[in-house]
Amino acid sequence: MSATVSALTPERLAAADAAPGFMPVDEATALYDVAREYLTTPDSVGVGVEIGTYCGKSTVFLGSAAIESGSLIVTVDHHRGSEEHQPGWEYHDTSLVDPHAGTLDTSARFRRTIFDADLEGTVLGLLARSVDAARVWGRAVDFVFIDGGHSMKAAQADYDGWARWVRPGGALLIHDVFPDPADGGRPPYEIYCQALDSGKFSEVGAHGSLRVLQRA
């Protein structure tokens, strides 16, 4: 498919809309545009990584960008939910609880989303904790999109484990970055600051709470 023709079709938008999740459409569309850009540069290696899949809403946008250039998206999640998805928390969804294990399991809903979006040959789901998957990862990628657990421990592990795999000229994308504490949690903002302070990344875009940092 030509990179000039959008693969973000009405059918894929419908699949993303039907998937449980929290990413606003305008930020998801910006994510698609950014992913498309970094997957089609002359230095592209044809692989992007998402940390934090949930039910695949944002993954559809990444996969749509990847299919245009024959690239791949690897999305990493243990599918047991982050802190805010657990019983008693604001974002707990009882329909996503596995009755056998008695715990959250979003893997089947993710597979349904990717099936409905016709992206099964483009999106590879890696069922593992981010910190464990990072231990066996071994190649450079065009971008890493961090949108996993929002505790400081989880966010720090995502940054420490995955930012180093962004190729020179590639991008580190961080979601839910709120400079004002009144707007949201601090951990994504803290790792965003760490990336800038490292001297390896510079900010090249901001779309709502999505930050785009390019590696030197």
Question: Residue 2: what pLDDT?
Answer: 39
Residues with catalytic annotation? 150
Question: Residue 97: what pLDDT?
Answer: 79
Q: Which residues contact 183 (CB under 8 A, 6 or more apart)?
A: 209
Question: Residue 85: what pLDDT?
Answer: 57
Q: Which domains does the chain have, with CATH numbers?
A: 10-215 (3.40.50.150)
Q: Which residues contact 156 (CB under 8 A, 6 or more apart)?
A: 187, 190, 191
How many Å is the maximal CA-CA distance in the chain? 48
Q: In what order do the strands lie in the sheet with 72-77?
A: 123-127, 72-77, 47-51, 141-146, 166-174, 210-215, 201-207
- Low-confidence residues in the chain, pLDDT < 70: 1-4, 82-92
Question: Six-digit token pair at 69?
Answer: 């250039």
Instruction: State how far the Cα of 161 lies from the Cα of 61, in Å rounded to an integer.
Output: 23
Question: Residue 44: what pLDDT?
Answer: 98
Q: pTM value? A: 0.92
**Strand pairing partners for 103?**
98
Q: Which residues contact 88 (CB under 8 A, 6 or more apart)?
A: none
Question: Six-digit token pair at 179?
Answer: 């400079």
Rounded to 10 deg, the angle between the 10-18 and 57-67 helix axes is: 160
Question: Residue 56: what pLDDT?
Answer: 97
Question: Residue 87: what pLDDT?
Answer: 61
